[in-house]
Amino acid sequence: MDERVAAALCEAGVVRFGVFTYVSGAKGPVYVDMRVLPSTVSAMDAVTDAMAELVGRIGPDVLAGAETAGIPLAAVLSMKTRIPMIYVRKRPKAHGTHSQVEGLLADGQSVLLVDDMITDGGSKLAFVQGIRDAGGTVDDALVVLDRLQGGVETLSGVGVTLHSLINLPELLDYMLAEGLLDRATYDEVLSYLADPDAWQRSLEEKG
């Protein structure tokens, strides 16, 4: 774990605790809101510095920001690494050019998909396919945070290697050590991550 990244994410206040309903309709005790990261300039700078180091090792021709949270990250990374940027929509737009990828992408260029975080990886598949349909090759994806809920396996299934700066248990460990999180909440969130369905059943039983 890179403590610079953990400290930056805590500075930006990306993690919240409570009971939240996710896009899937399931509930959970933790919510990571990476969209607030650009509002704290020092934190955004630290996180994108760490991402830029990984970009340099991967060596793509093009960076692709995933709609929407990946776009500001890719834009900053493009400026820091001098690698051109495109962005990719969740689905082709319904008017104009009907494109899913915006920006200049030549056939065969290697594209690094950039996003804020990953859960089970399902939403990333449309981005990967959109870039491939536009002629790019996608072998790697880069996120700030991995929730460790199946994303690596999902992307591996379509030939994409996932790179992340930090995972959620690591961030929780840092928060606990720094006194930013109490032990009861820490234990509850780890219990949820280990078995989300059991956690939700327990919540329903409590009424």
How confident is the model over 126-175, as pLDDT tens digits? 999 999 999 999 999 999 999 999 999 999 999 999 999 999 999 999 99
Q: How far apart are CA 50 and CA 182, in angstroms?
A: 28
> At a CB cut-off of 8 Å and minimum separation 6, what does 11 contact?
40, 42, 43
Q: What is the pTM of this model?
A: 0.94
Query: For the chain, what is the mean pLDDT?
Result: 94
pLDDT band at 105 (very low <50, low <70, confident <90, very high): very high
pLDDT band at 203 (very low <50, low <70, confident <90, very high): confident
Pull the structure tokens for residue 130. Answer: 């959109």
For the four alpha carbons of 146, 74, 41 and 57, in that order, the dihedral sign comes to positive
pLDDT reading at 98 higher than 80? no
Mean pLDDT of 71-87: 98
pLDDT band at 96 (very low <50, low <70, confident <90, very high): low
Q: How far apart are CA 6 and CA 9, in angstroms?
A: 5
Angle, alpha carbons 54-109-149 (nearest 5°): 45
Mean pLDDT of 16-22: 92
Q: Which domains does the chain have, with CATH numbers?
A: 3-206 (3.40.50.2020)
pLDDT reading at 57 higher than 80? yes
pLDDT reading at 201 higher than 80? yes
Predicted local confidence at residue 95, as pLDDT: 64
SS3 89: coil
pLDDT reading at 94 higher than 60? no
